[in-house]
Structures are given as C-alpha cells and as structure tokens.
Structure 1
Amino acid sequence: MADLALAPERHAQRAPWLLAGPALLLFVGLLVVPMFLIAVLSFHAFDGTRGVLPGYTVSNYIEVLSDPYYHEIFLRTAGLSLAVTALSIVLGVPETLILARMRSPWRSLFLLIILGPLLIPVVVRTLGWAILMGRVGLINEALLALHLTDSPVRLLFSMTGVTIALVHVLVPFMVIPVWASIQKLDPQVENAGLSLGGPRFTVFRRVVLPQLLPGVLSGSIIVFALSASAFATPAILGGRRLKVVATAAYDEFLSTLNWPLGAAIAVLLLIANVAIILGCNRLIERRFRAIFES
C-alpha cells in the first residue's frame, strides 16, 4: 500500500525529466558530442604529408599560445566583439525605450523594421553591405556629394566596416531581451518617482535602469558571443588580411588541412568566450550595484 501511495509522487518527479528528455538528447547529440570530438581532435598530432596522426600532443595549444600571429588575431576578435557589444547597448537600449512608448500600429511596424535584418540570409545581407561600402558605393557617393570628405572613405576590408555590419545584425539581439525586461516594468513605479519630485535622469538611473539591467546583461552576452564567433561577415567584409579567430580556424581546417590546429583554435575561442563573459558579468554587476546603492 505504501508503494502504491508513493507511485504518483515518483511519476511527478520523473515527469520533468521525461518531458525534457528529447530536447536534452538533441542538445547532447548536436552540441555536446561534436564539441567533445573537436576537443579530442585538438590534441592529435599532425604531419603535412601524412595528415592527422594517432598520437596525442599539446603542441597545437603551445603553437597558438606562443605565436604572436595568433595573439594579434585573438586580440582583434576581442576588440571587435567589445566594440560591437558597446555599440549595440548604446543603440539598442534607447531604441527599445522609444519603441516601448510608441502606440499601435507604429510600435508593431518599427519592431518589424528592427527585427528585419534577422529575416535576411547572412550572406545576402553581408554582400549588400559590401556593395554599400565600396569605393563607389552608396555611402561614399553620399559623403562625396555632401562634401563631407575629399576622397572615398575606406570601409570595405576594414574593422570599421565589419563593426558596422555586425552591429546592424546584432542590435535585435540586444533589443529583444531589453524589450522583455520592459514588459515586466510597472509604469506606475516610474510615475511615482516623478511625482515625488525626482528628476527624470535620477528616476531613470535609480528606478528604471536597475530593472532593465538583466535584459542588458543578457543581450550583451548574446551579442558578444555571436560577434566573437562570427564568420561570414568578417570573411566577406574583412577580406583575407583582416582575420578573426573564426576565419583563422576555417583556414586551418580547409586551406592547410591542419584539423588539429584548427580544433585547438576553436577550443581556445570557446574558453576565452566563456571566461570573458563570466568575468565581465561579475564586474558589471558589482559596479552597477555600487552605483545604485550610492
């Protein structure tokens, strides 16, 4: 009788695992297993004439960590990711606040415009930016026509062009989490602060911004991770000389066929991504907490 009484409770405890089981298996099969195989591959030795060797070594990691060429690539990728994240915050947060105060149907229309870049394939979108940024592209033609410059500005095959294109497509990933945070925000709380005589900026800093901070942090993590691992946009707009970590790993896999070295680069990118995101999260949370408590 006791076992029969406990049966419904056991079924209730197993239900979440049974419901999440298919998604968990899909996650393990499509992400965890390939990442594990890439990590194992990164420890294999490589020979230019015989290919991947069965022996294991850490020489691939030593080569990446000791070569100034790869140091420059990793630093360039980090700088690009931080710039894209900062610009996405500067553009995305005010954009979302303005969007939240719009009325229908303008709100739906502008939200569709903001999310529009996600509806276009990445290669098509990047090639469009390449046309706009060329020496005879629309942007340079407009700058010359307005006499803002005497010669065409170099946007193509530069960090500036890559940053602009990545911000264009990644701003929606900042808008969506901040939008979700705004939906949870009670307008009466802001009105109460204003009614008590608080300046608008003070009310925004001490009342609104703390409630938007989780969305900003979530969006920053998404934007930083996507920009650090971006491949198509840096490859097309940056060219062969302006390499980032993703394009460097691609070259090792498909150009030199040094799969273990390419796998080591990919693993180090993953480790650096996780370490930077966790470190920045803790630093930003502490600083914002100190600001809000002051």
Structure 2
Amino acid sequence: MVETTTRSKGQQWVLSFPALAMFLGLLVVPLALTAILSFNAFDAMRGPLEEYTLSNYVEVFSDGYYYELFLRTALMSLAVTVVCILLGVPETIILSRMRPAWQGAFFVVILGPLLISVVVRTLGWSILLGREGFINNALSSLGLVDRPVQLMFSMTGVIIVLTHVMLPFVVISVWSTLQKLDAQVAHAARSLGAGPFTTFRRIILPQLLPGILSGAIIVFTLSASAFATPALIGGRRVKVVTTAIYDEFLSSLNWPLGAAVAVLLLIGIVLVVVGSNRMIERKFKQVFA
C-alpha cells in the first residue's frame, strides 16, 4: 500500500513537471530577473551597472509624477471595473432568460472581443473614435453635438475600449454563479409579495456577489496591466504606469528604473487580488453558510 502511494505521488510529479517547468521558465524566472534588475544602478553613458542600490525605488517614491501615474492607473481600472459590472450583470441575467439557441449566438457575440488580436481590435476602435469616425458622425447626425467629441487620446476613449474587451470576463464570472442559483427561491419571494426590485436586491444580488467580485478582480488587474489600449488610444496625452514602463525601457533606456516601476505595479496588483480574495471568501461564507 505504501509503495503504491509513493509510486502514485512520483507519477504525479512526473506528469506535472512540464507545466511546472513552463511556469518557472515563462513567469517566475522573468519576474525574478526583473526584480533583480530593479536594484541595479544606472548611468546615462554606460547603462545598467553591476552595482546594487535602492536609488530607483527612492526616485519613484520621492517623485510626485509616479504618484500621479499610479493614481491615474487605479482610477482608470476602477472606472472600467464599475462600468463592466453595471453592464455585465444585467446582460448576464437577460442572457440566462433567453432560449438556449439564442444564448449560444449571444455568447459568441459577447466573447468576440477576446477572439480578435488586441492590435487589430484597438486600431478598429481608433477608427470609430476619431474626429471623423463613426461615433462622432452619428452624434452629429442626431444633433447631439455641435462639434466632434475628443474621444481619441483621452481617458474616456481608453475606458470605452477597455470596457469593450473586459466585459466578457464579468459575464463569464456572473454566469457561472448564476447557474448555481435555485430559481424556486426567487419564485417563492414573488409569491410572498416581494416585488421584482426587492426580489433582485434581497434574493438574487447577494447570491451573485461572489461572481461579481471575481469578475471585478479580473477586470481590475487586467485593466491596470493593459498596455496596447492606453498606448494606442490614449497616446502621449494619457500616461499610465504601463506606458511609463515602456518609455523607461525603450526611450530613456533606464531599465532599472523601469523594472522598479514594474515591480511596484505587480506588488500593487497582488495586494488588490489578495484583499479582494479575502472579501470574496467572507461573502461565500455568508451566502452559502
């Protein structure tokens, strides 16, 4: 019996080794090298030096410019998360009440942004958001605006495009939670005199909170680490942490400083995920206790 258990454990390690090797090679090792690089000294003439210092982190924490970048990134990610929740939750509830045939068709439409290359998708949105684009032409034709609205190279445009691609993550998270709900509970509340709004607020919404919070975590973290959309839609006017890292690596060539900013962004995202996971665990205990 002991030999069988030992052999089974050995087989598990052998089977999981390729995945572990890929995880270490593609994620852990690059992150570790980036963290080490963030402590290297930098000289404008010689580049990164084989000297270790905290000056890169001191520069980030002592410069208000980086505080503004992190605050702008957090607010952008929070705005995208809130909009995705406001749109995604009703959309998922409506989707759950459709016929199965319609559900499949609309799922393809909802997941469509994830099936398109990020560059192609972003360039398509740049055409729509331009001063002579479809959105401005439609607003002008309807008489809603007198002159083109500045959507390109603005935070508004960045939030619109990020919402478009992040919305499926909220829908998927809420959908998985919605499938576990017992519809008879809502029917019982209606039969006892509760209105539709009261039934949703007191019965359905508390049970959907775990899925909503899970989707919010995914959207927030992906929005905070997004690069292509802020770079192409926001341009030079809308600077966020990821575009600042890009500039440090490829424009200023100050790799250690860029690595320090990247490490701080990673730490901030991890703190958000850990704190949110604890909140989700408490909600799960309250809902399913």
Question: For 1:187 and 1:284, how far apart are their aligned partners in 2?
Answer: 23
Question: For 1:152 and 1:285, how far apart are their aligned partners in 2?
Answer: 47
Indicate the residue corresponding to 2:42 in structure 1.
46
Task: Give aligned pairs, total.
Answer: 288
Structure 2 residue 160 is the aligned partner of structure 1 residue 164:
yes
TM-score (norm 2): 0.93
Percentage identity across aligned positions? Answer: 63
Indicate the residue corresponding to 1:144 in structure 2.
140
Q: Which stretches in structure 1 are left out of the alignment for 5+ residues?
A: none
Q: CA deviation at 1:281?
A: 5.0
Indicate the residue corresponding to 1:105 in structure 2.
101
Partners of 2:153 and 2:233 within 8 A in 1: yes
Indicate the residue corresponding to 1:179 in structure 2.
175
Aligned pairs (5 A) from 1:1-294: 5-280=1-276, 282=278
Question: For 1:18 and 1:199, how far apart are their aligned partners in 2?
Answer: 57
Q: CA deviation at 1:38?
A: 0.3
TM-score (norm 1): 0.91
SS in 2 for 1:53: strand
Q: CA deviation at 1:68?
A: 1.1
Greater Cα offset, 72-81 or 185-194: 185-194
SS in 2 for 1:46: strand
Question: For 1:286 and 1:8, how far apart are their aligned partners in 2?
Answer: 39
Which residue type is aligned with residue 95 of structure 1? Answer: E
Greater Cα offset, 179-188 or 165-174: 179-188
Q: Which stretches in structure 2 are left out of the alignment for 5+ residues?
A: none
Question: For 2:15 and 2:204, how far apart are their aligned partners in 1?
Answer: 37
SS in 1 for 2:100: coil
Greater Cα offset, 258-267 or 175-184: 175-184
RMSD: 2.1
Question: For 1:15 and 1:112, how far apart are their aligned partners in 2?
Answer: 39
The verdict on how the C-alpha distance between 1:209 and 1:14 changes in structure 2, with shifts beyond 3 A counting, is: farther
